[in-house]
Structure 1
Amino acid sequence: MKGRATAPAGGTILNALATGTGAAFAIDITTTATVELTESGTITGSVEGAPDADTGLIERCVERVIERFGDAEGATVHTESEIPMAAGLKSSSAAANATVLATLSALDVDCPRTTAARIGVQAARDAGVTVTGAFDDASASMLGGITITDNTNDELLQHDERDWDVLVWSPDDRAYSADADVDRCNAIAPMARLVESLALDGAYGQAMTVNGLAFCGALEYPTAPLIDAMNAAVGVSLSGTGPSYIAVGDRTALTTVRSHWKEYDGRTWMTQTRTTGAQIR
């Protein structure tokens, strides 16, 4: 039995590191996972184009689904992705969601999407790839649109939609969320609570920009890319724990921002928000 699923990347409105409350939105680039059940009793993973990649997360996702819904089956899991890894664009959440759904499909099990997202979050904690559990990132990728979550309790607080064009600048450097300086992030908790209030009121762009300024300070990233975008974008932020920056708004306005961001080393590209989440193929 074989299953295949895709899940989108995401951008940050509120980083959950400071208070445990986070907010994120899905964007239209994806990771695809293919899971094939076997009689071997073992689970092995691979990543397209990265033979030395750490496959612990995707293997643990398969294990958790089989532990809950299966009968000690073995499996192979293979992922391929448009999302740059360790760039702050929720690549781990997308990989986990796609893998969980593909495994459920292989087992022919129907499962609520929020439950599936929580399985991936638990696998991410098991694999040590997240500090907060990243239920905000996982839920946005799984459900599409914008989600606000209590990551301490894996609770969905708000689900909304916005149709935005999206500009991403992804430097060549990589940053792993598990390595973020949690103490410095805790120090900006008052600003994070302000961002939370703005987001719960639907002022997502303002929330995003305040989050970007606060977390660039806490994580010692430059604020110049934020300043470049403020007059044109609806909102702009450091995404996740970086190093990518993400701006949302009207495509024409974002084209102006892109002319600035293209001066920086790395890759700059346009996409859009995505209101549909992870999909079984």
Structure 2
Amino acid sequence: MQAKATVFGAISIVNAIATGRGATLGIDSMVEATVSAYDGRGIHLQADSSSMSTKLVNKVVEMSVPKKELEKNRIEILLRSQIPTGYGLKSSSAISSAISLACHKMFRPRYTDTQVLLTGVEASIATRVSMTGAYDDACACYYGGTVVTDNYKRKIIRMERTPVNLAVVVFVPRSRKRGNIKQLKMLGGVFQRAWDFAREGHYWNAMVLNGLAGSTILNSDPRTVAKIIEAGALGVSVSGNGPAIAAVAKKERINRVKKAFAGLEGRTLIAQVNNKKASVHEL
């Protein structure tokens, strides 16, 4: 028995750490999880990244698969990811949702989208991968589009398709160094205002405000935000808790925005926006 799930990545518009409310935008970098079940016991992971959290993977499986099925099945998971891990690009949310979706398809065929999502969210909290459960990240990865959420209430406040004339530049710095994310709460009022912008549909104002506030704490230079906006980006921000920086621009300006990162140490990627929902099928 096998199932293969595909879930996409996302970038931050508003970081949810400070207030429990966030906003995210789906991109086309993807994660594929192939889950197989054989006679036996145990959870076995094969991944193309050594930095994968096995605790998170195991917890997602334990929460997705009924206990009686776990006791008589050897669960093997093959993960293939285009998303760099540990940079704030929602790899944990995409991976946990993909595994949850494949497991639900196999063992709980009458599942709902909410059940799939909440399994990954609760597993993230239980394993301390996320402070809030990253419901905003999970929703953008799973549904695509642009999503505004209240993470503590597990509620989508606003969701819409992202215009396809936009693209995303992602700068992945050489250094993985981050600031103290707990200090983000000191600027809770600023992040609340950024979230209010997003709730009203003013996504780029939200992203820039989030970028300026977050960069002062998350080991990034606020002047980079101004530089990238000057190059033609609509919005730019540290993504998640960093250290990656994401910029959204119209496609005709995307190469100019990419060149604006040239003086920084790291690599620059171009991603398309994603409006596709996660998918799963049995093999």
Query: What TM-score results when the alignment is normalised by the length of structure 1?
Result: 0.92
Q: Name the aligned partner's letter for residue 141 of structure 1.
A: C
**Preserved contact between residue 46 and residue 55 of structure 1 (Cα < 8 Å):** no
**Preserved contact between residue 47 and residue 55 of structure 1 (Cα < 8 Å):** no
> The residue matched to 1:219 in structure 2 has which SS?
coil
Query: Alpha carbons of 1:225 and 1:69: their partners in 2 closer, same or farther (altered >3 Å)?
Result: farther
> The residue matched to 2:66 in structure 1 has which SS?
helix
**Preserved contact between residue 2 and residue 105 of structure 1 (Cα < 8 Å):** no
1:168 aligns with 2:170: yes
Q: Name the aligned partner's letter for residue 36 of structure 2.
A: E
Query: Alpha carbons of 1:68 and 1:116: their partners in 2 closer, same or farther (altered >3 Å)?
Result: farther
Distance in 2 (alpha carbons) for counterparts of 1:137 and 1:222:
24
Distance in 2 (alpha carbons) for counterparts of 1:152 and 1:249:
30
Distance in 1 (alpha carbons) for counterparts of 2:221 and 2:137:
23
Q: Name the aligned partner's letter for residue 82 of structure 1.
A: Q
> The residue matched to 2:65 in structure 1 has which SS?
helix
RMSD: 1.9
Paired residue for 1:278? 278
Distance in 1 (alpha carbons) for counterparts of 2:203 and 2:187:
19
Bigger Cα displacement from structure 2, 59-68 vs 265-274: 59-68
Aligned runs of 1:9-28 on 2, under 5 Å? 9-28=9-28
Distance in 2 (alpha carbons) for counterparts of 1:144 and 1:69:
34
1:255: Cα distance to partner? 1.5
Query: Alpha carbons of 1:271 and 1:181: their partners in 2 closer, same or farther (altered >3 Å)?
Result: closer
Paired residue for 1:115? 115
1:145: Cα distance to partner? 0.6
Paired residue for 1:251? 251
Note the alpha carbon deviations across 1:86-121, whole angstroms, 9 max, x for none.
Answer: 011000001011111111222261322232111111
Query: What TM-score results when the alignment is normalised by the length of structure 2?
Result: 0.92
Paired residue for 2:145? 145
Distance in 2 (alpha carbons) for counterparts of 1:242 and 1:272:
20
Query: Alpha carbons of 1:26 and 1:55: their partners in 2 closer, same or farther (altered >3 Å)?
Result: same
**Preserved contact between residue 249 and residue 257 of structure 2 (Cα < 8 Å):** no
